[in-house]
Structure formats: structure tokens, C-alpha cells
């Protein structure tokens, strides 16, 4: 096997520990490190016979085929950061490096949606799971209305994505993913991502989408609705709306729920009730003592569900833009 100079250099560096490799890399200029980056991206496995007479020291340590891991580029990036400084290393390793998923992530949402609308909902869900929430919401909005519930349902049910699937998606839409590992998986919180997307949508569009999903998968729709708002999000309610919510919540539930609340939310809640009521809750919180986190989270979920019900009834609006007061 014929190896280029940069490939040999990469193999030597990757065979060393950081302490040995860093001073060597420090002697290289940025252009040389760029060449190493390109060489590392293209290497997979190298037989020891190809290294004979060139890197005897390397062969003595290896004594077998040297597999260059998919993490070769990240490791080289780490060494460059130590040797050249983070700013220089970032410029070198980010310059011109844009994989297929990066191109999809930077694509115009309308253009991407027009390509994806001919694909299977599972494939579409895999793609938008890799986009930021704002862009993913725009792509979902641009898809045909009849297709959106199926896509959201698959996204909501996602927990991880096989690397092979992402590679197939990338090939179908752009090009083969560099250094892909078909056995790897990426963790996906499908419910949280779906909830974030719906919140980014126009209120009417989001409600219509969840309504459609509810007809075929009511449990998932409920999970997504619950995940759309957290207990801390109640801090965005104005004083009038918060009072309406507090009137519908048992005091003992509120007392438990506030145990882990931020100081800003606690102050907002206490300022929305009478001084006497606020003092009583503070005293109850102290007297209750330690409460299991599971109980606190359960109380917070119950209060959020009450808020969702009041929001659906039009009593309050969870999309109120007012900050905590």
C-alpha cells in the first residue's frame, strides 16, 4: 500500500499519546496541519507491511494492522488545539469542512422541504431531528399538511438513529457522510424535539398539527403537549394569568412544586398573591422539609397540566411574552 507523506505523518501522530504528539504538531505550520487533516479524513485501515522501512518505531509498537479510528480527525483537532491554540485550530479544522448533514442544516427550509416531501416520513423525521429547532419548524411547516402528522409522530417516537440510517439519508439527499460509522447511534429525545418544533410554529398551525396527531396517536400527542411547557415557563405569565392559575391549583401542590423552583419564579408567584398567603406557603415549604424529587416533579407536572387546560379554555395564554415581574 502506497502512503503519502501526510498519511504517514498522521499514522505516526495517531499512534502516540498526547504528550508525545503535541510538541511534534507544534513544529508544523497551519498549512501543514491542514494537509494532515485531509489525510486523516481519508484513512481507514493500514496494514503493517506498508509501514516497513518508513516507521519502524511505529511498527514495533503496533505489530499488527493499524486501524485508524473514525475519531482520527477529532483527536488531531485536539492535538492542534493544544499545540497551536484554540483559535488557530478552529480556523484550520472548520475551514471548508462541510459534510452532507451540514449542507442540509444550512439549506433554505423551503428548498429542503420540497426535496423531503417526496421521501418517507421516517426519513424526513431523521433529517429534521438533526436541524436546529427554528429551521426544523420551518421545514415542517413547508411540508404538505397531510404529511406533517406522520412526520411528527415518527419524530416523537425516536429515541436514537442508527448511523447507517443517517448515512442512507445523507446519500439520498446530498452525498455520503465522511467518516460515518454504521454501528454508531445518536441519542434523540423525540418528544422534546417535537414539542420544541410545535412551539416554534404558528399557534394555529401547531394546534392543528397536534390535533391531527391526536387522532392516530393520542398518547404521543399528550406527551408532546406536556413537554411543550415546563414549570419554569409559568414565569412568563403576567400577574393576572398567574392568579387565575393559582386559584385552580391546590395550595399543597404549589408548596411542593415550588421546592425546586428558581428564585425568580418563586418571587413571581409570591408577588401574584396576598402577602399573607405568600408567607403561609413559605412557612409550609420550610415545615415540609425534604421532599423526594419525584414528588416535586409530579406536582410541577400537575400544575403545568392545569395551565394547559386553562390555556385551551382561553382563560390564560401560555404564549404571553411578558417576563417575570
What's the pLDDT tens digit per position in 180-198? Answer: 444 445 557 788 889 888 8
Cβ-count burial 222-236 (b if 16+ within 10 Å, e if not): ebbbebbbebeebbb
Which grid cell sits at 251?
A: 395550595
Q: Give domain 5-94's CATH number out of 1.10.220, 3.30.450, 3.40.50, 3.40.1130.
A: 1.10.220
Domain ranges, ordered by start, for the chain: 5-94, 101-224, 230-313
**What confidence score (pLDDT) does residue 269 get?**
93
| CATH code of the domain occupying 230-313 | 1.10.220.30
Under the banding of pLDDT at 50, 70 and 90, the label for residue 168 is low
Q: Is the pLDDT of residue 79 over 60?
A: yes
Under the banding of pLDDT at 50, 70 and 90, the label for residue 56 is low
**What confidence score (pLDDT) does residue 209 get?**
92
Under the banding of pLDDT at 50, 70 and 90, the label for residue 109 is confident
**What confidence score (pLDDT) does residue 300 get?**
92
Q: Is the pLDDT of residue 313 over 50?
A: yes
Q: Is the pLDDT of residue 139 over 60?
A: yes
Average pLDDT over residues 110-122: 83
Average pLDDT over residues 5-32: 73
Average pLDDT over residues 294-316: 89
pTM above 0.85, yes or no: no
Please write the tens of the pLDDT for every residue from 224-262.
988 888 898 898 898 899 999 999 999 999 999 998 899
Q: Is the pLDDT of residue 303 over 90?
A: yes
Give the mean pLDDT of the chain: 77
- Asked, colleague to colleague, whether 5-94 and 101-224 share their fold, the answer is yes
**What confidence score (pLDDT) does residue 69 get?**
43
245: alpha, beta or left? (left if phi > 0; alpha if psi -120 to 50): alpha
Higher per-residue pLDDT: 275 or 11: 275
| CATH code of the domain occupying 101-224 | 1.10.220.30
**What confidence score (pLDDT) does residue 161 get?**
76
Average pLDDT over residues 22-38: 76
Among 49-63, 123-137, 158-172, the least confident range: 49-63
| Percent above pLDDT 70 for the chain | 69
**What confidence score (pLDDT) does residue 28 get?**
73
Which grid cell sits at 300?
A: 410541577
Amino acid at each position: 500500500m502506497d502512503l503519502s507523506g501526510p498519511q504517514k505523518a498522521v499514522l505516526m501522530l495517531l499512534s502516540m499519546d498526547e504528550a508525545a504528539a503535541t510538541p511534534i504538531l507544534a513544529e508544523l505550520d497551519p498549512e501543514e496541519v491542514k494537509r494532515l487533516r485531509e489525510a486523516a479524513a481519508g484513512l481507514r485501515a493500514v496494514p503493517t507491511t506498508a509501514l516497513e522501512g518508513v516507521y519502524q518505531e511505529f511498527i514495533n509498537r503496533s505489530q499488527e494492522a493499524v486501524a485508524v479510528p473514525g475519531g482520527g480527525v477529532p483527536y488531531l483537532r485536539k492535538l492542534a488545539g493544544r499545540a497551536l491554540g484554540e483559535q488557530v485550530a478552529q480556523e484550520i479544522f472548520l475551514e471548508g469542512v462541510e459534510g452532507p448533514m451540514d449542507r442540509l442544516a444550512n439549506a433554505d427550509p423551503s428548498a429542503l422541504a420540497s426535496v423531503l416531501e417526496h421521501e418517507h416520513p421516517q426519513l424526513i423525521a431523521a433529517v429534521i431531528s438533526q436541524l436546529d429547532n427554528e429551521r426544523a419548524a420551518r421545514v415542517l411547516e413547508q411540508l404538505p399538511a397531510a404529511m406533517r402528522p406522520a412526520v411528527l409522530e415518527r419524530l416523537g417516537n425516536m429515541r436514537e438513529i442508527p448511523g447507517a440510517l443517517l448515512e442512507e439519508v445523507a446519500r439520498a439527499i446530498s452525498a455520503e457522510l465522511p467518516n460515518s460509522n454504521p454501528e454508531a447511534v445518536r441519542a434523540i429525545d423525540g418528544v422534546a424535539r417535537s414539542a420544541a418544533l410545535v412551539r416554534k410554529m404558528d399557534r394555529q398551525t401547531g394546534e392543528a398539527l397536534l390535533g391531527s396527531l391526536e387522532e392516530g396517536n393520542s398518547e404521543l400527542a399528550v406527551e408532546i403537549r406536556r413537554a411543550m411547557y415546563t414549570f419554569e415557563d409559568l414565569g412568563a405569565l403576567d400577574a393576572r394569568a398567574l392568579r387565575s392559575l393559582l386559584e385552580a391549583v391546590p395550595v399543597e401542590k404549589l408548596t411542593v412544586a415550588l421546592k425546586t423552583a428558581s428564585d425568580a419564579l418563586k418571587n413571581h408567584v409570591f408577588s401574584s398573591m396576598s402577602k399573607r398567603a405568600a408567607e403561609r406557603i413559605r412557612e409550609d415549604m420550610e415545615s415540609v422539609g425534604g421532599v423526594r424529587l419525584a414528588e416535586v416533579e409530579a406536582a410541577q407536572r400537575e400544575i403545568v397540566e392545569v395551565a394547559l387546560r386553562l390555556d385551551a379554555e382561553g382563560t390564560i395564554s401560555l404564549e404571553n411574552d411578558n417576563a417575570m415581574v
